Amino acid sequence: MGIVYKIDYKIAEEAIKKVAALLEKKAVTKDFRLSFNMSSETFMREDMLPYIFDLLEFYKVDGTNIEIEITESMILKNSKTTIERLEKLKEKNIFISMDDFTAGYSTVGLLATLPVDIVKFDRSLILAMNEDKQKGKVIYKGLVKIMKSLGLKIVAEGIEKEEDLEFLIQNSVEYGQGFLLGKPQRDFLN
């Protein structure tokens, strides 16, 4: 229908407005960061960058308080334009995370040149590890080593078992999400 951008823009505005309110109330520290996803359709719109920058200016929020999550597939669709836009966001100190990493695409070779800060490992990696512990753990450890050597932060998605969490801690994965750590909340920042 071509209107997903309206949803993305509303989510972006609500996130930035929430950050401004939390910072003003001193409910969070100055280094607090809130992330939101953006669809590839919205990311490719000509007005996306000005829209985000205008929101930051209007609500007086620094880019360091925002993280935009993009999918790995977005980079492969139109890599030149995507990278140019990511670099513009980085100029405003906005954090960029690649969501659903390894969910059927392969940008490992591009990681050295991509302006991203965080890589969110898709839950399929943990599922693969649970199906074949030996091979799955070797793959997970190898990917962690690559990301760390590139200076990227890692978020493990899909943590549902205590043994998965223990494995991730043992392998220096500092951030995670999944039902074991907490179920999705309607509005946890009230």
> Based on the domain organization, do 136 and 56 belong to the same domain?
no
DSSP classification of residue 154: E
Do 2 and 86 fall into the same domain?
A: yes
Residues 34 and 63 in one domain: yes
Tens digit of pLDDT for each residue in 41-65?
999 999 999 999 999 999 999 999 9
Q: What are phi and psi of 123, to 5 degrees?
A: -60, -20
Q: pLDDT tens-digit profile of 69-115?
A: 998 778 777 788 889 999 999 999 999 999 888 765 666 777 777 89
pLDDT band at 130; cut points 50, 70, 90: confident
Tell me the pTM.
0.88
Would you call 179 exposed, middle or buried from its count of C-beta atoms within 10 A (0-12, 13-18, 19+)? exposed
Q: Tell me the percentage of the chain whose pLDDT exceeds 70.
A: 95
Q: Are residues 70 and 146 in the same domain?
A: no
Q: Give me the domain span that covers residue 136.
A: 117-190
The dihedral built from the CA positions of residue 25, 31, 72 and 177, taken in this order, carries a sign that is: negative
Domain identity same for 123 and 98: no
Same domain, 10 and 81: yes
Within a domain: 110? no
Verify that 8 and 36 share a domain, yes or no: yes
The count of domains in the chain is 2
Same domain, 99 and 122: no
Residues 87 and 122 grouped into a single domain: no
